[in-house]
Amino acid sequence: MRSNVVLIDFENVQPATLEALEPEHYRLIVFVGTTQTKLPFEIVSAVQRMGERAEYVRISGTGPNALDFHIAFYIGQFAAHDPTAFFHIISKDAGFDPLIRHLKTKHISPPAACRSMRCCEPSQAARRSPSRKAARESSPTRSANPRARSHGVTRPSVGR
């Protein structure tokens, strides 16, 4: 099954739940800012249950877009390691849109992969690796913040 890498910008999106990320094909990275000193128990508990499939990345340094650059770096690392992975950037920062467009020009994702959706909503479609249609219609995650944006990045699949 195709892996899904979920990257959460925890500085501006604090999901109410991570329930939809329990299936084995999800990997989670929660990016935490240098000034964030407390995390909700529900999130910490969910990350712990995922074991080695989840981790926290504390941002080194402060400044505009510091966390965004960390997310971009991790997308590059994962894309090099797993070229078929499907990426979900959970953020309300529209600054990822140029990155998504650039990745598409490098044939890292099809045009339908970038979309807005709610973060952390458990749904049947989100519990399996998304097809292009499911990627447009469902979300792997639901946020307490209705303005949260998720940007999907995927590579074209072969032999589906």
Integer Cα distance of 29 and 15 in angstroms: 13
Query: Residue 22 corresponds to which tokens in the numbers above?
Result: 């329990």
Residue 23 lies in a domain: yes
User: In sequence order, what E strands does the chain have?
Assistant: 4-9, 26-32, 54-58, 86-91, 149-154
Query: Residue 29 corresponds to which tokens in the numbers above?
Result: 């990275």
Residue 123 lies in a domain: yes
| DSSP assigned state of 156 | P
Residue 67 lies in a domain: yes
pLDDT score recorded for residue 57? 96
pLDDT score recorded for residue 142? 44
pLDDT score recorded for residue 158? 35
pLDDT score recorded for residue 99? 83
Residue 29 lies in a domain: yes
Domain hosting 146: range is 4-154
Model pLDDT for residues 19-46, shown as the tens digit of each residue: 999 999 999 999 999 999 999 999 999 9
pTM to 2 decimal places: 0.71
Residue 159 lies in a domain: no
Q: Pick out the chain residues at pLDDT < 50.
A: 110-119, 121-148, 153-160
- Split into its structural domains, the chain has a count of 1
Query: Residue 48 corresponds to which tokens in the numbers above?
Result: 């712990």
| DSSP assigned state of 115 | -
pLDDT score recorded for residue 112? 25
Residue 160 lies in a domain: no
pLDDT score recorded for residue 120? 53
pLDDT score recorded for residue 118? 44
pLDDT score recorded for residue 151? 53
